[in-house]
Amino acid sequence: MLVLVAPGQGAQTPGFLTPWLDLPGAADRVAAWSDAIGLDLAHYGTQADAEEIRDTAVAQPLLVAAGLLSAAALGDITPGAVAGHSVGEFTAAAFAGVLDDTTALTLVRKRGLAMAEAAAITATGMSALLGGDPDTTVPHLEKLGLTPANVNGAGQIVAAGTLEQLAALEADKPEGVRRVVALKVAGAFHTHHMAPAVDKLAKAAEEFAPADPAVAYVSNKDGRTVATGDEVVARLVGQVANPVRWDLCMETFQELGVTALVEVCPGGTLTGIAKRALPGVKTLALKTPDDLDAARELIAEHA
């Protein structure tokens, strides 16, 4: 069984969209999306520097656009399940037919703006902890006032909180943690610091009528599959201020019988985790259009 997944914020790099815009129809599609959401996605995906695309209000729609564009380039495929990490859940919702592409981008643009506004209230951030045991790491984070905002599995937890709390973590790592790596994000996402953004996104979501998922949609909230479009959207809204449980998503992939996992552009992060957490599962990350042929071959074998 094939699982199609979409990465979250921090996966973006300067110029990563450039080769994708050379595909037939891609530039026109991105231009139409840009007009719809009032953001020049082509500029930010090809010319902007790392600091510009670190901006939450830019990074989030840019990542979703890249995921949608690269998935469309694969052709007409039907995965057994879809999932996304954090903002990648909007990409996955479009894969599943819950939201159309423009609606997904419209909502994620409003999400990014609301989260950027919430992040400006207090200086906050996120850091990935490599190594360690969750039973030891989580209590240590809570002692420092930090939130385990992403529990990714394969020995990786992402802590979120104020910059002072993250500095304290650098000086006082949990037992077994090898490294603490600051992420390219502009706030403590998936924590109480994002609570002001939840209401704004909820109001924006009221304007759209979601469809029920056409394939299994696996939620970050608890790793469970979600049967209705209304519940998918409710979870998308609430997840802004609640931890991402990617570890539980991967457990569900196993229960569903996953044999292959393809990560859309800018792929790499989730396939890296899957290689450690899902032994025996074939993985492929879409980084440039050069990866499309290999992805199509893998999909043909496992879809």
**pLDDT band at residue 186 under the 50/70/90 scheme:** confident
Do residues 111 and 175 both lie within one domain? no
For residue 201, the domain's CATH number is 3.40.366.10
Q: Quick one: 107 and 147 in the same domain? A: no
Distance CA(290)–CA(303), nearest Å, equals 21
Return the amino acid letter for 186: A
Is there a single domain that holds both residue 151 and residue 38? no
For residue 106, the enclosing domain spans 2-120+191-302
Residue 70 and residue 195 in one domain = yes
Which residues are known to be catalytic?
86, 190
Q: Which amino acid is at 175?
A: E
Give tens-digit pLDDT for 95-130.
999 999 999 999 999 999 999 999 999 999 999 998
Binned at pLDDT 50, 70 and 90, residue 303 comes out as confident
Regarding whether 98 and 28 lie in a shared domain, the answer is yes
Q: Are residues 296 and 261 in the same domain?
A: yes
The per-residue pLDDT for range 225-265, each reduced to its tens digit, is 999 999 999 999 999 999 999 999 999 999 999 999 999 99
- Distance, in Å, from the CA atom of 219 to the CA atom of 238, rounded to the nearest integer, reads 11
Up-side HSE of residue 265: CA atoms within 13 Å toward CB?
27
Q: Based on the fold, state whether residues 209 and 263 are members of the same structural domain.
A: yes
Q: Look at residues 164, 182, 200 and tell me which one is the last residue of a structural domain.
A: 182
Domain shared by 155 and 61, yes or no = no
- Shared domain for 113 and 207, answered yes or no, is yes
% of the chain residues with pLDDT over 90: 94
pLDDT category, 156, cuts 50, 70, 90?
confident
151 and 37 in one domain? no
Tell me, what CATH number does 163's domain have? 3.30.70.250
Domain finish residue from 162, 182, 202: 182
**Number of domains, the chain:** 2
Helices and strands of the chain, counted as H and E runs: 13, 10
Same domain, 231 and 247: yes
pTM as predicted = 0.95
The structure tokens listed for 249 are: 């998503």
**Domain boundary at 165, 182, 199, which?**
182
* Letter string b/e over residues 240-258, b meaning 16 or more CB atoms within 10 A of that residue's CB: bbbbbbbbbbbbbbeeeeb
- Give the per-residue pLDDT at 183: 86
> Can you give the pLDDT at residue 154?
80
| 237 and 151 assigned to the same domain | no
pLDDT at 155 over 90: no
Give mean pLDDT, residues 204-233: 97
Report, in this order, helix, strand and coil percent for the chain, each rounded to 5.
50, 15, 35
Strand order in 282-285's β-sheet?
225-226, 216-218, 81-84, 2-6, 260-263, 282-285
140 token code pair = 């240590």
